Amino acid sequence: MEWDFSYRWTEFRRLQKRVRRAGIALIVVWFLVYGTKFLPPGISKIGAVALLVVWIFLVIELFKAYSQYTYWLCPRCGEPFHYAISGSVD
């Protein structure tokens, strides 16, 4: 009997892309915050605060996506995919 794990591996690749996108978005927003200093003073403060809120949201999203990626279970054995569990203490 052959098992089809393609759905689970597709989920894994989706998590990888989500982590990558969140990291890239953080970098882009960081540079946009730097760019607000070239705007007029009234607009730059509002723009910087808005981008700071977006940046905080992206940091939370990155941590959430990365934790799901890190603790993803292998579909074949059910063990964590990215780290090994040491022997149980009896």
What pLDDT digit, counting tens, does each position of 43-66 carry?
777 877 888 899 899 999 999 999
Quickly tell me which residue has 């509002």 as its tokens.
46
Q: In the chain, where are the structural domains located?
A: 6-70
What are residue 28's DSSP bridge partners?
Answer: none
Q: Among 4, 3, 5, which Cα is nearest to 72's?
A: 5
Quickly tell me which residue has 């998590």 as its tokens.
15
Considering the entire predicted model, what is its pTM?
Answer: 0.72
pLDDT of residue 87: 58
Grouping H, G, I as helix, E, B as strand and the rest as coil, residue 71 is coil
pLDDT of residue 63: 94
Q: What ranges in the chain are assigned the alpha helix state H?
A: 6-35, 41-70
